[in-house]
Amino acid sequence: MPKKKIRNRCIGILTAGGDCPGLNAAIRAVTKAAIASYGMKVIGVYDGFRGLVENRTTALDNPAVSGILTVGGTILGTSRDKPHKMQMGDRVMDMTSTAVENAAKLGIDSLVCLGGGGTQKNALALQEAGLNVLTLPKTIDNDVAETDISFGFDTALTIATEAIDRLHTTATSHNRLIVCEVMGHNAGWLALGAGIAGGADAILIPEIPYDLSMVAEHLFERRRHGKRFSIIVVAEGARSKAEVEAAAAAREKNGKDGKKKRKKDPQEEPRPGDPERGVVPMGPAEEPPVFQLVQEPMASRLARQLQQLTGTEARVTSLGHVQRGGGPTAADRLLCTRLGTRAAQLLSEGVASAMVAVRGDRCEPVPLEDVAGFNKVVPSDHPWLAAARQVETCLGE
């Protein structure tokens, strides 16, 4: 935490990482409360951390945020650029000090960063370089550590559930298997939540490496009970037991990430997590796979294998960015308004180097060091897993 008492007369706000429904609702809440309740000036920064480095900003006031509560995306734009490793023309450069200096020149006392896991790490790096930051947890993946929930998740959950409902009617009519791939990065929250809510017959998540023969056996069992269709919800990060074992063997052979050595990024150093609570160190940022276009997409491969094993015709639906599009649900609008207004209040009290986390009914600041570098995955004793098993959903175990 910073030693000097911060007097926030002017704040900056940016949205970074993948967009999600609710970002505008949060921008509106921070802006309106900061101006009306605490007399602050608010500056919007375009396109995430890149906008700060390139000095692209806009004044935010009540007219600027009027009418955006219900609108998806972000009026400020977003990017996945990191200040410490930014593509500048044909070079990758550390632009951290430029970002900090630009904020100072703009008169920004604290910067509010709306983002997921990567953004929390980048925000902490800026804090350590001398810029006060306060963050809000945003992501459809719901994998930000130390918060009960992130905004954007409820909307994506609603969209994915509705899609699974729709897949049910067509799967039933044709007696087909439908494999539905949902996002979620390395966490299974979205697949598990939407799978349970949509009554999926099997749900495969990264936290539980799956055994394909168990999934096939479950589908046979359904058929023995007269059910000739099945919906299999698979998280984009799900892996079979065989793949997990192969990756572990490769790690053993080639080093930590199982790939050929690459230059280490100091921000990517893993710290110990708390797997009991579902808090695990974030993995290294993924290198873009070479030959990605010739690989068979995971959900397609799964559908092909299940079709072969069960003799039932299979189809694939990948929900993709539909899950991040459109306006936020009522629950997300409410959450963003609670988080955003609480952020403004905390800024008025001079709180920095913290993320505003959802803890039960309350929104509380938690130290950024406890968030940055960690992922919240589904813990093995989570009640959603127990509930799924009790309604006879196959988890591939």
Site for ligand F6P, rule CB under 6 A: 18, 116, 139-141, 183-185, 236, 324
Helix, strand or coil, per DSSP, at residue 281 = strand
Residue number, 139 or 310, with CB nearest to ligand F6P: 139
290 contact partners, CB below 8 Å, separation of at least 6: none
Residue number, 102 or 158, with CB nearest to ligand F6P: 158
Instruction: Using DSSP bridges, classify how beta strands 374-376 and 279-281 pair: parallel, antiparallel or unpaired.
Output: antiparallel
CB 141 within 8 A of CB 116: yes
Residue number, 33 or 299, with CB nearest to ligand F6P: 299
Shortest reach from residue 184's CB to ligand F6P, in Å: 5
Residue number, 120 or 341, with CB nearest to ligand F6P: 120
Q: How far apart are CA 266 and CA 282, in angstroms?
A: 13
Q: How far apart are CA 393 and CA 259, in angstroms?
A: 35
Q: How far apart are CA 96 and CA 382, in angstroms?
A: 39
Q: How far apart are CA 120 and CA 371, in angstroms?
A: 7
One-letter identity of residue 136: L
- CB 57: neighbour CB atoms within 10 A? 20
Would you state the structure tokens that stand for residue 59, as one six-digit string?
């004044």
Residue number, 35 or 372, with CB nearest to ligand F6P: 372
Residue number, 185 or 376, with CB nearest to ligand F6P: 185
Residue number, 45 or 140, with CB nearest to ligand F6P: 140
Shortest reach from residue 268's CB to ligand F6P, in Å: 17
Residue number, 286 or 381, with CB nearest to ligand F6P: 286
First CA to last CA across the chain, in angstroms? 44
113 contact partners, CB below 8 Å, separation of at least 6: 14, 16, 119, 120, 122, 123, 133, 134, 135, 136
Which candidate in 141, 143, 154, 332 is catalytic? 141
Shortest reach from residue 150's CB to ligand F6P, in Å: 10
CB 351 within 8 A of CB 136: no
Strand order in the sheet with 110-115: 57-60, 41-45, 10-15, 110-115, 132-137, 354-359, 362-367
Q: Measuring CA to CA, how many Å separate 55 from each of 52, 93, 111, 126, 177? A: 5, 16, 14, 16, 51
> Is 230 exposed, middle or buried (CB count within 10 Å of its CB: 0-12, 13-18, 19+)?
buried
Shortest reach from residue 125's CB to ligand F6P, in Å: 19
Nearest to 232 by CA among 40, 395, 23, 36: 395
Q: Which residue, judged by CB position, is nearest to ligand F6P in the bound state?
A: 183
Q: How far apart are CA 199 and CA 67, in angstroms?
A: 36
Q: Is 19 a catalytic residue?
A: no
Q: Catalytic positions, please?
A: 141
